[in-house]
Structure 1
Amino acid sequence: MKLCFLMYPWERVEPDGDSTLRLIHEAASRGLTVAITTPNNLTVRDSVAHAFCNVLKKTPKVSSNVGSFYQRAEFKRCKLPLAGFDAIILRTNPPLDTVALNFLDSVRNDTFIMNSLDGLRVANNKLYPASFTGDASRYVPSTHVSKSREYLEQVLLDSPREKMILKPLNGFGGQGVIVVEKNARQNFRSLLDFYIGAENSSNYVILQDYVDGADEGDVRILMLNGEPIGAMRRVPAEGELRSNIHAGGREKKHILTREEKALCRAVGPQLVRDGLYFAGLDVINGKLIEVNVLSPGGITRINRLNRVKLQAQIIDFVQNVVSAKNLVAERKNAFRKAIEDAEII
């Protein structure tokens, strides 16, 4: 099987905790062909989408140590047609590169793309949880998104809660997340001026109900094909609201509660319908705060806390999907051959 990882540059990989590296290492350990590329290396030649790829050179034995594997990895530079890959795994950091998705649109029927392009388009920012309906909607805190300073000021004033969460719509890694308190709302307009910016280059911001317990951290749940496969609790550093690891948070072992399992059952079907086969849920006190679909992390830390190997389950899933697609294609070709033979007789 031939895999292409559309990701951030190889030199930016952090071997100790990088989830993408674990997936690449697992694929290489299975003897699969692995190529990596970045959005900037996508190109079109003769109306065919290609990518300038670094193809991992195969070795008789792949080191079981991921750090050693990363340091010793050797690549061959090639320009390759994207349709020739059995699967393309997107692992780029936010914000979503819509131009890169336009390149991939031309091969969506030829290769399995995880996550799906349409799913990424609807779920790449913090608005996605607001789209959940039915039972899933009760797990989403009240959320307001706007560029209007006057509207957001009124939302804060009308809120029955003493504090709310303010954050940029397209932020990631906990960037720009702050608590806004009613008793300090005289500073709120200045904050909105900073977050929204000038009129000709204004940004949307999110104002969301503060969920009790947020100061104690959140739970990251990794979902595969609509089912939870692992979780960890992230605890913020002292004096810090954000529990993201890149913001100084630390991880702790976590077993899903009954309410968190119910949340997963409620949102899992929509993730699958939208083609979001691998996603990270951020949950606080039973409320869904964010859905991460571009490059959900946490594999390394959950592995270490629970002595599991989540990357094996994920590559298993990709291989099973590709095998099923190939079987369908083979059956179709066999049926077409039978019809052609019947025409000759």
Structure 2
Amino acid sequence: MTITFVVNQVGKESAGYTTTALALEAHKRGHTVYYVGVGDLVYLSDGRLGGHCRRVPGREFRSLHTFLDAVLETEKKLVSSDKWDVLWLRNDPAADMEKRPWAQDAGMLFGQLASQQGITVLNSPEGLIKASNKMYLQYFPESVRPRTVITRNMADVEAFYREQNHRIILKPLKGSGGKNVFLIDKKDDKNRKQIVEAICRDGFAIAQEYLPAAKKGDVRLFLMDGEPLMRNGKVAAIQRVQQAGEIRSNIHQGGKAKPAGMTTEIETIVDAVGPLLRQDGMFLVGLDIVGDKLMEINVFSPGGLIHASEFHGVDFMEEVITAMERKVDKNR
């Protein structure tokens, strides 16, 4: 089959990205694989979609680095979607928010048309639109998420700050990768207003209860069709531990990854959120969990699956691509 991966910009992809590993695994299994930047998508005059794509060369690769280098050396060619079986939306809208705002919704909008034309689109574009900011978390049971206020009003933040004994997390409603996430306590009394104003310049602010368990980092757990991604009895999960003096545990913010497994608290969260994720067409997502609370749901391009594979000694990419093949056959 033919699989087209949509990314923010092909030239900015990395060998360490989960997308690279998924694309290589699909290529190894004999599928035709294309890369296309979200800005290279096209609506063609015959009513079909297309894209100025880079096709993965038809040869073997010794590493993720040589694979991606070969993709980047390939010239772009216009390809019609009548050749696509799968359109895999792996672009992160939040990464385009500041410098390329026109690109934020493009993948989802083109994805909706592709879905109508019978192409399997992952994750579901309708589900992604619903989950396009952190408000999506509020659709899930209160028992598994932290207490939260979403506002642009400073008085609301102040009231919540007092309610939470003068310690909260502040972050933007739209964003990813740990950008503009702040721990606010009494030491930041002088800066609190400025931080809220800075966040609200770009939209709404989230004020969230601080969880003491966050000192130990968080767990990134991968779900596939609402169930933990498993292979050979191993679960696709890593623990991300922040650097000293840092509250963010994101890997590209300096966090360190180590193996993680299932706990009773994590199983409770999965039971609570899995059915709605499956209903919303979320094929592959990453849950960020602190203690017994779900902090975020990463639905666009969750990373860390390479780390999980290395730690647990199994190739989770094989499991994902196999499930994708089954999904396409079922849709047919």
Q: Same fold judged by TM-score > 0.5?
A: yes
Match of 1:67 among 51, 65, 68: 65
CA shift, 1:75, in A, is: 3.1
Partner of 1:117: 125
> Is contact 2:219-2:239 (8 Å) kept?
yes
> Is contact 1:57-1:76 (8 Å) kept?
no
Name the CA distance, whole Å, in 2 between partners of 1:184 and 1:54: 48
Partner of 1:38: 37
CA shift, 1:84, in A, is: 3.1
Worse overlay, 109-118 or 3-12? 3-12
Any idea what the Cα deviations from partners look like across 1:273-323, whole Å, max 9, x if unmatched? 011111000000110000000100011111111111111111111100111
Any idea what the Cα deviations from partners look like across 1:70-118, whole Å, max 9, x if unmatched? 2344535321222431111111123272133222222213111000011
Unaligned runs of at least 5 residues, structure 1: 327-345
CA shift, 1:51, in A, is: 1.0
Partner of 1:320: 326
Q: Name the SS of the counterpart of 2:212 in structure 1.
A: coil
> Is contact 2:57-2:70 (8 Å) kept?
no
Partner of 2:27: 28
Partner of 1:144: 149
Partner of 2:238: 232
Name the CA distance, whole Å, in 2 between partners of 1:227 and 1:312: 16
1:267 aligns with 2:255: no
Q: Name the SS of the counterpart of 1:92 in structure 2.
A: coil
CA shift, 1:183, in A, is: 6.0
Any idea what the Cα deviations from partners look like across 1:182-207, whole Å, max 9, x if unmatched? 4643432122122212xxxx521100
Number of aligned residue pairs: give it.
Answer: 315
Name the CA distance, whole Å, in 2 between partners of 1:196 and 1:50: 37
Name the CA distance, whole Å, in 2 between partners of 1:270 and 1:3: 26
Any idea what the Cα deviations from partners look like across 1:220-251, whole Å, max 9, x if unmatched? 00111111121010000111110000100000
**What is the aligned-residue identity percentage?**
29
Partner of 1:206: 206
CA shift, 1:129, in A, is: 1.1
> Is contact 2:4-2:34 (8 Å) kept?
yes
Partner of 2:194: 190
Query: TM-score when scaled to structure 2?
Result: 0.90
Structure possessing the higher radius of gyration over alpha carbons: 1
Partner of 1:9: 9
CA RMSD of aligned residues (A): 1.6
Name the CA distance, whole Å, in 2 between partners of 1:104 and 1:126: 21
> Is contact 1:141-1:288 (8 Å) kept?
yes
